[in-house]
Amino acid sequence: MVKERRDVRKSKNAIKNAFIQLIINQDIRKITVNDILTLADVSRGTFYAHFLDIYDVQEQVENDLMDRCMQVIGENSIDDVIDDPYPPILKCIQFLMEHAETIRSLSQGNQNGAFITKYKVILKESLFKSSHSITNEVTLSVIDACIVGAVVEGGLEKIIRDIPLNAEETAQIISRFISRGVKGMIE
C-alpha cells in the first residue's frame, strides 16, 4: 500500500479543519469553496485535487470522525461490552462530547437526519465485526440494537440537541440499560 505524501495529507487536513471551523459558525449551505480556501490557505487547484465539492468535504469529515469513534468502540469485543459496558461506553461518550460542536454542526441539529442514520449503520457494522463469542445471528442483532440504541439515544442525540450531560453519569445510565436489556434477553 502506497502511503499518502505528507504535503497531500497536510493540505487535505487543512481543508477539513477549515470546513469544521466554518460549519461550527455557520450553515453549511452558506459556506463557499472560497471560504474554505481562504481559511485553509490553499489554492483552488489543491481543493479540487482532493475534493469534488463542499459536500464531499463534509462526507470525508463525517467518515474521519466516525472512523475514530469506531476505533474507540472497536477496542472492546461485544463480550466485553456485555460483561462490563461502563468502560467502553464511557470512552465512547467522552469521544462524542470531545467532538460535540462538530457533531452538532454536521447533523445540523436534526436527530433523525442522515448523520444519525449513517452513524447507526457504521456503529452496527463495527460491533458485528468486533470479536465476540455469539453464534446466533438473532441474538447478535438484538444485542447490537440494544447497544446502538443506548449509545445513540443516551449520548449522541443529547449532544445533537445540545443537552448538557456528564460523561460518567451518562455512561452509567447507558451501561445499566445495556446490562438489563442484554441480561433480560439472555436469561
**Considering the chain, what is the average pLDDT of its residues?**
84
Lowest mean pLDDT among 28-37, 42-51, 61-70: 61-70
Q: Which amino acid is at 153?
A: E
> In the prediction, which pLDDT does 3 show?
80
CATH level 3 topology of 1-51? Arc Repressor Mutant, subunit A (1.10.10)
The predicted model gives 105-129 an average pLDDT of: 76
**Predicted local distance difference test score (pLDDT) of residue 156:** 83
pLDDT band at 40 (very low <50, low <70, confident <90, very high): very high
Q: How confident is the model at residue 52 (pLDDT cuts 50, 70, 90)?
A: very high
Matching residue, cell 447533523: 107
Residue ranges per structural domain of the chain? 1-51, 60-186
Residue 186 pLDDT > 80: no
Supply the pLDDT for residue 112: 58
Q: Residues 6 or more apart from 77 whose CB is under 8 A from it?
A: 130, 131, 132
User: What's the pTM value of the predicted model, to 2 decimals?
Assistant: 0.79
Closest to 163 in 3D by CA, of 115, 114, 121, 111:
111
Taking only the tens place, the pLDDT of each residue in 125-173 is 777 777 777 777 777 777 777 788 888 878 888 888 888 889 999 999 8
Burial zone of 15 (CB within 10 Å; 0-12 exposed, 13-18 middle, 19+ buried): buried
- In whole angstroms, give the CA distance from residue 51 to residue 31: 15
Distance (Å, rounded) from C-alpha 162 to C-alpha 109?
Answer: 9
Grid cell listed for 99: 467532538
pLDDT at 111 over 80: no
The pLDDT tens digits for 28-37 are: 889 999 999 9
Q: Which residues does 134 contact at the CB level (< 8 Å), separation at least 6?
A: 78, 79, 140, 143
Q: How confident is the model at residue 60 (pLDDT cuts 50, 70, 90)?
A: very high
Long-range contacts of 129-134 (CB under 8 A, 24+ apart): 129/74, 130/73, 130/74, 130/76, 130/77, 130/78, 131/77, 131/78, 131/79, 132/77, 132/78, 132/79, 133/79, 134/78, 134/79
Amino acid 16: pLDDT: 94
Name the region of 162 (left: φ>0; alpha: ψ -120 to 50; beta: rest): left
Rg over alpha carbons for the chain, rounded to the nearest Å, is 18
In 3-state terms the chain splits into helix, strand, coil percentages (rounded to 5) of: 80, 0, 20
